[in-house]
Copies of this chain bind each other. A is one copy, B any other.
Amino acid sequence: MKLKPLGDRLIVKAVEEEATTASGIVLPDTAKEKPQKGKVLAVGDGKLDDNGTRQPLDVVEGDEVLYSKYGGTEITVDGEDLLVLRESDVLAKVAG
């Protein structure tokens, strides 16, 4: 199932950080924070501004982004856990 986000939304797949501490201990799942980094799978066409013009997103498919930990809506698509975010929940993108 391929999804097309609406407006200023994007679909993100969380990127798992390596769960090993500096001293080499592998952390069990519950000791890890919810991921904040993700890969953009799909982007919307942007919001309509007051003049009826689309405002294209700054983020494109394939970008890696940092996003705010409590933003977005979790969805499950074909057994995969994804996140639908608004672009305003994206803090920064990882520069090439």
List the number of copies, as a whole number: 7
CB within 8 Å of B: which of A71-96? 73, 75, 79, 84, 87-88, 90-96
Chain A: how many interface residues by the 8 Å CB criterion?
39
A62 CB, min distance to chain B CBs, angstroms: 15
B-chain residues with CB within 8 Å of residue A30 when the two chains form the complex: none
A75 touches B50 (CB 8 A): no
B3 touches A87 (CB 8 A): no
A3 touches B75 (CB 8 A): no
Contact of A92 among B6, B49, B59, B93 (CB under 8 A): B6
A52 touches B52 (CB 8 A): no
Q: Does A20 contact B (CB under 8 A)?
A: no
A interface residues, Cβ below 8 angstroms from B: 1-7, 9, 11, 22, 36, 42, 44-45, 48-53, 55, 58-59, 66, 68-69, 73, 75, 79, 84, 87-88, 90-96
